[in-house]
Amino acid sequence: MQLVLEKRAERSNAIALVSPLIAIGLTIVTMVILFAVLGKNPLLALQAYFIAPLTDGYSLQEIAVKATPLVMIAIGLSLCYLANAWNIGAEGQFLIGAVAGSWIAVKTQGTDAGAWVLPAMLVLAAAAGALYALIPAICKVKFGASEILTSLMLVYVADLFLDYLVRGPWRDPHGFNFPTTAEFDPVATVPLLIEGGRLHLGSIIALLVVAAAAILLGRTIKGFEIRVVGAAPRAARFGGFNANQLVILTFAVSGALAGLAGIIEVAGPIGHLQPGISPGYGFTAIIVAFLGRLNPLGILVAGLFLALTFIGGEQAQIAMKIPLDVTKVFQGILLFYVLACDSLILYRFKLVFSNRQVARGAG
């Protein structure tokens, strides 16, 4: 006797739409049980996680700030994943973008360079991110190397390169040998949208990126090509679409967006280049991309939702002394239910009693 997953002959569109909601509902039920076991009032805990951060302007700003890099990177990744190109190295492209953009900031420091500095930083960061992403893309197209491995390994190269720069040539001369560049000049800083707050221009750029991706995928032939190459490679070949070209294109776009997110983070909330500029944005964005079902609007919602769990997790730690680990368990459970619900829409469990049936089930 065996349990097998069998593909459903037909799938219900209504269920596909409510599936993420079911997942969130199940997560909340699980969390209520967990809070109760921990001896915390579940209602107050849920309030601290989900309601409190949405009720004041400060937390809303923080959610937007946290979601900005996640959404930008995830949009780029979704294009890759739709086209069946597996870019796992957005973290590295993020870091390289941050480094490239910071180069201009460091070189113009203390000079009377004008308003061109920030735009130049953004452009250079995007270009550097794209070039860095092209390394695994070209290795895949030319030599058949697994882009999953090469893009992932380049993350560590970027990390160490940044490390070398801030400990060596770019180190703040007045910083007691601590590994950081000097604070960027005002012309090299992303402007704030609200004085005294932390919301910055990057969040607007992220919204523009979401809109552009929605148009690209929904309204253009290129977007159609991306989706067909991913969903039906054979059909795409018959249709004359060049899959290799799309690998190059989607990697470049995704690298550019990650690089842009990197410089916006450094020239925005951080204000200088230092090690540890990313708490794993490039990897968390993979979760965001799938949570948003590789759909631009879905990614926007997923990015905001994940940011909410971070901010809410902190407020729960402060208000209810709920340990950080619970927040991590919570994020893990959420992802688990989302994937489980999705699987159960496409597949169903079946108990099989003999080998013949297994063979048929698998066929």
The span of 112-120, 148-156, 225-233, 314-322 binding other proteins (CB under 8 A) equals: 314-322
Q: Is 200 one of the binding residues for other proteins (CB under 8 A)?
A: no
122 backbone φψ class: left, alpha, beta (φ>0; ψ -120 to 50): alpha
Residue 173's DSSP bridge partners are none
Q: Is 38 one of the binding residues for other proteins (CB under 8 A)?
A: no
CB 304 within 8 A of CB 63: yes
The contacts of residue 328 (CB under 8 Å, 6+ apart) are: none
Q: Which of 339, 251, 299, 249 is nearest to 74 (CA)?
A: 299
Q: Report the nearest approach of other proteins to the CB of residue 168 (Å).
A: 5
**Binds other proteins (CB under 8 A): choice among 65, 74, 205, 304:** 65
3-state secondary structure of 254: helix
The contacts of residue 309 (CB under 8 Å, 6+ apart) are: 49, 327, 330, 331, 334
Subset of 268-287 contacting other proteins (CB under 8 A): 269-272, 274-279
# of chain residues touching other proteins (CB under 8 A): 42
Position 51, amino acid: I
Q: Is 41 one of the binding residues for other proteins (CB under 8 A)?
A: no
Cβ distance to other proteins smaller for residue 318 or 359: 318
Block residue for tokens 């870019």: 87
DSSP code per residue over 310-346: HHHHHHHHHHH---HHHHHHHHHHHHHHHHHHHHHHH
**Binds other proteins (CB under 8 A): choice among 7, 142, 234, 321:** 321
CB 101 within 8 A of CB 118: no
**Binds other proteins (CB under 8 A): choice among 47, 317, 331, 357:** 317
Cβ distance to other proteins smaller for residue 59 or 357: 59
Per-residue contact string for residues 239-258; x = within reach of other proteins by CB under 8 A: --------------------
Report d(CA 353, CA 350) in Å as an integer: 10
Cβ distance to other proteins smaller for residue 175 or 361: 175
Subset of 170-199 contacting other proteins (CB under 8 A): 171, 176-180, 183, 194-196, 198
Cβ distance to other proteins smaller for residue 70 or 226: 70
CA 306 from centroid of its chain's CA atoms:
10
Q: Report the nearest approach of other proteins to the CB of residue 39 (Å).
A: 18
The span of 72-80, 247-255, 320-328, 341-349 binding other proteins (CB under 8 A) equals: 320-328
Q: Report the nearest approach of other proteins to the CB of residue 32 (Å).
A: 24
Cβ distance to other proteins smaller for residue 250 or 278: 278
The contacts of residue 1 (CB under 8 Å, 6+ apart) are: 351, 352, 353
How far is the CA of 299 from the CAs of 86, 247, 265, in angstroms? 17, 21, 19
Per-residue contact string for residues 150-169; x = within reach of other proteins by CB under 8 A: -------------x---xx-
Which residues of the chain form contacts with other proteins (CB under 8 A)?
56-58, 62, 65-66, 163, 167-168, 171, 176-180, 183, 194-196, 198, 265, 269-272, 274-279, 310-311, 314-315, 317-319, 321, 323-325
